[in-house]
Structure 1
């Protein structure tokens, strides 16, 4: 009897742990730190289509991606007031190409690229040390980032729609972003 009670307890604990990673409320149910170290809830982005990207300052993809992410954000969020955002998560796991601290990362992004989109504290995005929000992205999409500038497109509930690696430029996925925005706006009208 004691053995079965232990087994039942282990199963319960296991399901609670996996539920914590599963993100029942989607990506937006997680808490992270912003680039200045302040804890924030991603819940603030619920109701928006988001493009979540792991960033690096010293990568061969940096210039193209930062420019295109900034352009897309400015066009859709700032100019057209669409329910869209880019969420940038610096990461140093790939080629040690983000060696800077959060303060220097923010300065680089804001001054060099005039990046207006939300930036978050540097995190790990893969492996056992990956932030739980990124574990949700990789587990729900079955796409694990293996380099800088992986892009995850999320619907208004924080569910992954699609994911692309760094060789896919931001311009080429704009159509998918626009489709996701239209679908979100259509679902709002139906309510």
Structure 2
């Protein structure tokens, strides 16, 4: 059976990161953007990361420019923005596509595991969130409007 730990992604610094590195942790995987109405959620995501810093949990951020050209920058610009504006300390990855023929394999798998509104696989907007359990299975998908703090309950249930 495939799990989230079977994938590799490129970190924002250009290094390949086998997601197996996070084995045994619940993960909140989020497609992000720096110029979006939901960009303020970076603060909530970082708050979750800090709240559960001593627990088996990690937030993973995947910048994406597929929605309204809201993530136009290069990796270094994105990293600098996240650090300077929101003190982001959770792992950030290189910009990816979450929909279409160039959809990253991780997102191809995530969207097959938990479909969105009316059964659609497509990600509708930035800050769609996927929660995986400590065995690497997708247990929930949250719409962009769901604030990170509102996911505390489901995270607690997994820890």
Question: TM-score, normalised to structure 2's length?
Answer: 0.94
Segments of 5+ residues of structure 2 without an aligned counterpart are 117-121
2:15 is aligned to 38
Conservation of the 8 A alpha-carbon contact between 1:35 and 1:120: yes
2:105 is aligned to 132
- 1:141 paired to 2:114: yes
Segments of 5+ residues of structure 1 without an aligned counterpart are 1-23, 182-191
| 1:71 equivalent among 47, 54, 66 | 47
1:117-147 superposed Cα distances (whole Å, 9 cap, x missing partner): 0000000011111000110000011233110
1:60 is aligned to 37
Shift of 1:25: 3.1
Moved over 6 A (4+): none
Count of equivalent residues? 154
1:12-161, aligned counterparts within 5 Å?
A: 24-63=1-40, 65-77=41-53, 81-143=54-116, 144-161=122-139
Counterparts of 1:176 and 1:88, CA distance in 2: 19
Higher helix share: 1
1:150-190 superposed Cα distances (whole Å, 9 cap, x missing partner): 00000112210000111111111111111111xxxxxxxxx
Conservation of the 8 A alpha-carbon contact between 2:115 and 2:141: no
Counterparts of 2:135 and 2:146, CA distance in 1: 24
Question: TM-score, normalised to structure 1's length?
Answer: 0.79
2:145 is aligned to 167
Conservation of the 8 A alpha-carbon contact between 1:88 and 1:117: yes
